[in-house]
Amino acid sequence: MAPDRNDNDLESIDREIIRLISERSNLYIRMLKSRLAGDGLFSAEYRDRLFKLIEEANTGPLSDQILKRIYTDMVTGSMTIIAPVTVAFLGPEGSFSNIPVNEFFNEGAASLPQRTIQDVFQQVESGKAHYGVVPVENSTEGSVTYTLDELTETSLNIISEKYVRVTYSLLSRLKDITSVQKIFTHPQTLGQCKAWIRNNLPDAEIVSVESTSRAAELASREPDAAAIASDIAAGIYHLNILATMIEDSRQNYTRFFLIGRDGSKPTGNDKTSIVCAVRDKPGALLGLLKAFAAAGINMTKIESRPDKKKMWEYNFFIDFIGHQDDAIVKKALEKIRKEAIFLKILGSYPVGN
């Protein structure tokens, strides 16, 4: 039976889409090869521009998010044709750090789960991984100090940032929540889901483990157990999702950095992170902050951390709006250098969401 006209129309459109994808991929690969010597494969500036184009041009019915995932697959696929792309992250598989890895690269990159944040930095510094993904702060728990300490010492740059909402699910081999007798969970995770457990599974045995991924792994081995973990862990460990969004707070976000050896070019909507130390004298910090105020630069964060090399001295981590290549930012940084005894630019990158 011959296909009707609609089938023919769809096939014609599909052929044209496939042709254009191939043409686009070849063009993008040539562009990547031309910039490899200086900027590396991943470009936060290009990704930001591409996503803005999708938001401006998309007329539906597919959502912007779906189109962004499709384009991320195409971009990462083109990158891997030139060279395998490896990304180190704080593991194990199925942890929340998996989520920003997928946001940046989807499944086109090879993931290298690491036991510690220091290991993530070392993998990228040694060249065993092209990029790294590390948590830097949580909206309820504050800054991840291990990441701040590593950023102070590393030669790597912050390339991009991503905010991930921390949402937990109840995962199990079971299909009925009423049959759950035991819950594996990380202690911190338990603290964020106490009210839900009290209301829904008050009699379940609680077993503390070292990570949400470990919880999912153990739940996959026991017929009457469940785990509190991310949805991504359900797919990895072949578990059913019995309940979603079981966390007590809906305003729990973690900010992640993508780190690498290269920098990011200006997009017009950028953020810069620096770390600095001031002289031990009255008004030293005020003098440093005045440089931002005088330039009209908006600071989004300032935090102090003890300097591990000098007792009772502190480093200040500062985020502000603007790119280090912007003229107004350059002038402000010049003034800060005069006030500070130490200044390091950690990276400029598109403002994340």
pLDDT score for 4: 55
Burial of 13 (0-12, 13-18, 19+ CB in 10 A): exposed
What's the whole-model pTM score?
A: 0.81
Q: What is the pLDDT of residue 63?
A: 94
**Does residue 178 carry a catalytic annotation?**
no
CA angle, 280 then 285 then 289, to 5°:
155
Chain centroid offset of residue 334 CA: 30
Nearest alpha-carbon partner for 138 in 103, 163, 167, 118: 163
Name the stretches of the chain with pLDDT < 50.
1-2, 37-39, 312
Establish whether 256 is a catalytic residue: yes
Matching residue, tokens 């003098």: 287
| Torsion angle (degrees, nearest 10) of CA 208, 212, 214, 218 | 70
pLDDT value at residue 81: 87
The per-residue pLDDT for 310 is 66
Q: Which domains does the chain have, with CATH numbers?
A: 1-164+255-262 (3.40.190.10), 169-243 (3.40.190.10), 270-350 (3.30.70.260)
Q: So what's the pLDDT on residue 263? A: 84
What's residue 186's pLDDT?
85
- For residue 95, CA distances in Å to 134, 158, 345 come to 12, 21, 29
- Lookup result for tokens 């991009």: 160
Bridge partners, residue 169, by sequence: 229
- Annotated catalytic residue: which of 89, 104, 184, 256? 256
pLDDT in tens, 177-205: 999 999 999 887 888 899 999 999 999 99
Selecting among 72, 76, 152, 254, the annotated active-site residue is: 254
